[in-house]
Amino acid sequence: MKINVHGDNIAVTTALHDYVDKKIGRLTRYFEGEADKDIHVTMAVEGALHRVEMTMHVHGVIFRAEEQSSDMYASIDLVTDKLEQQVQRHKEKLNRRFRDRGLRTRIKQSTLNGEFSLQDIYEEKAPKLVRVKRFAIKPMDIEEAMMQMDLLGHDFYVFTNADTEEVNVVYRRRNGDYGLIEPQG
């Protein structure tokens, strides 16, 4: 497990780092034996507010939470609680999926000789893809992509970045600002 802690406008003290390690220990119990864990923690002070953002990568699954309060330790508590809820929901969803894949046995009669045999049937009750959209992706700058997203009334917009010539996604964040997703590598 790799934990990266850094601060924006704040020096991360040993006490803060130790507190984060202790709180993250609560989360890692859900993934015992899985060494492929990468956790990024960013602490920031913005006026009187102490903001903590945690992103946890576990075998390709990304958990992310952000919280703020008037105290850094309280913000750490809030963000780890939020992440723990996400991890619990994810684990419950996986467990439900495996539990719902019941093995049911059906008796099948052979039409040739009138004999009966048992046939095992696995039933899959997973969500399925119900719609596919195709559209042309034209090169544009980020500002134009944000404008197109607003005009369409969507929460995200896929486009080719005219500067980098790579496929990007611009999206609306909960606070009303915009975010940009770029491919890495």
Mean pLDDT of residues grouped by 10 in the chain (185 residues)?
Answer: 85 91 81 69 92 85 89 94 87 72 44 45 62 85 91 90 93 92 87
**Which overall architecture, per CATH, does domain 139-181 show?**
2-Layer Sandwich (3.30)
Domain range 2-98, its CATH number among 3.30.365.10, 3.30.930.10, 3.30.160.100, 3.40.640.10: 3.30.160.100
pTM of the model: 0.56
Q: Mark residue 57 as left, alpha or beta (left: phi above 0; alpha: psi -120 to 50; beta: remaining).
A: beta
147 and 159 Cβ atoms separated by less than 8 Å: no
For the chain, what are the domain ranges?
2-98, 139-181
Alpha helices in 37-159 (DSSP H): 72-100, 142-152
